């Protein structure tokens, strides 16, 4: 199958680390220019990229580029590992994009994307046991404050959402569908100590 002609149809290419390339469609490009000053400057100002339609980002891996485009186009993305999540947040800062880690239980709620406590206990070395139950968003947050993370087993990765608009966003539709206030399912319980996690869960969920 022939590759899609991104340049010939009004899109652009991103040259990433190790020479890897990501193609961006015209529809995506128009959206990115409307909401992100960086892409607008590259493609619509007096810069070499506006003619070549090739943006060089050697500091971005192909994965970072793919997730960044998805975040800016769909307003959320899912990162498969804490390591990629940390790198991704550094790059959103560089673009002046407000990106935050979403609450796993209630996607309407968010928490500080750079919360060191979350990053520390999200590590698989802190996995203690599994839990089946119904958890409300505020209970999930209270457990985080007590160094206990409930990570739904059915979900893979770390959900990141942006509160775009960043600047002028006329014509950009943001899905504001109301999300669930609670979740019932199976969770992987992350904590430094098993007994501490059991006590905290009993006190918070009781």
Query: Which domain, by its residues, includes 70?
Result: 1-74
Percent of the chain with pLDDT over 70: 81
pLDDT in tens, 40-57: 999 998 899 999 999 999
Asked if residue 87 is part of any domain, the answer here is no
Asked if residue 125 is part of any domain, the answer here is no
Asked if residue 143 is part of any domain, the answer here is no
Asked if residue 183 is part of any domain, the answer here is no
Could you give the count of Cα atoms lying within 13 Å of 17 in the half-sphere of its Cβ? 8
Distances (CA, A) of 35 to 3, 23, 44, 110: 28, 19, 13, 21
Q: Please give the helix or strand (H or E) that residue 101 lies within, else none.
A: strand 99-102
pLDDT in tens, 102-143: 766 766 566 766 677 788 888 889 999 999 988 888 888 899
> What pLDDT is stored for residue 138 in this prediction?
84
DSSP bridge partners of 99: 162
DSSP bridge partners of 134: 184
pLDDT category at 33 given cuts 50, 70, 90 is: very high
pLDDT in tens, 75-110: 889 888 888 988 999 999 888 888 888 766 766 566
Q: What is the pTM of this model?
A: 0.76
Asked if residue 121 is part of any domain, the answer here is no
For tokens 């186009």, name the residue: 73
Asked if residue 155 is part of any domain, the answer here is no
Asked if residue 86 is part of any domain, the answer here is no
Judge contact between 100 and 111, C-beta under 8 A.
yes
Asked if residue 91 is part of any domain, the answer here is no
- When computed from its CA atoms, the radius of gyration of the chain, rounded to whole angstroms, is 20
Q: Work out the mean pLDDT of the chain and round it to a whole number.
A: 83
How many independent structural domains does the chain possess? 1
| Out of 121-130, 143-152, 178-187, least confident range | 178-187
DSSP 153: T
């Amino acid at each position: 199958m022939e590759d899609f002609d991104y340049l010939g149809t009004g899109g652009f290419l991103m040259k990433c680390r190790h020479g890897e390339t990501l193609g961006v469609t015209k529809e995506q490009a128009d959206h990115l220019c409307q909401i992100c000053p960086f892409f607008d400057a590259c493609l619509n100002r007096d810069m070499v990229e506006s003619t070549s339609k090739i943006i060089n980002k050697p500091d971005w891996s192909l994965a970072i580029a793919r997730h960044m485009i998805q975040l800016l186009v769909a307003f959320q993305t899912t990162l498969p590992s804490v390591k990629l999540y940390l790198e991704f947040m550094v790059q959103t800062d560089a673009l002046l994009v407000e990106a935050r880690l979403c609450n796993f239980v209630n996607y309407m709620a968010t928490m500080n994307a750079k919360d060191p406590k979350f990053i520390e206990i999200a590590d698989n070395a802190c996995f203690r046991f599994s839990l089946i139950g119904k958890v409300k968003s505020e209970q999930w947050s209270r457990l985080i404050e007590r160094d206990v993370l409930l990570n739904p087993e059915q979900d893979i990765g770390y959900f990141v959402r942006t509160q775009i608009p960043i600047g002028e966003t006329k014509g950009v539709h943001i899905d504001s569908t109301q999300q669930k206030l609670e979740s019932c399912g199976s969770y992987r319980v992350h904590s430094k100590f098993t007994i501490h996690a059991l006590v905290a869960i009993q006190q918070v969920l009781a």
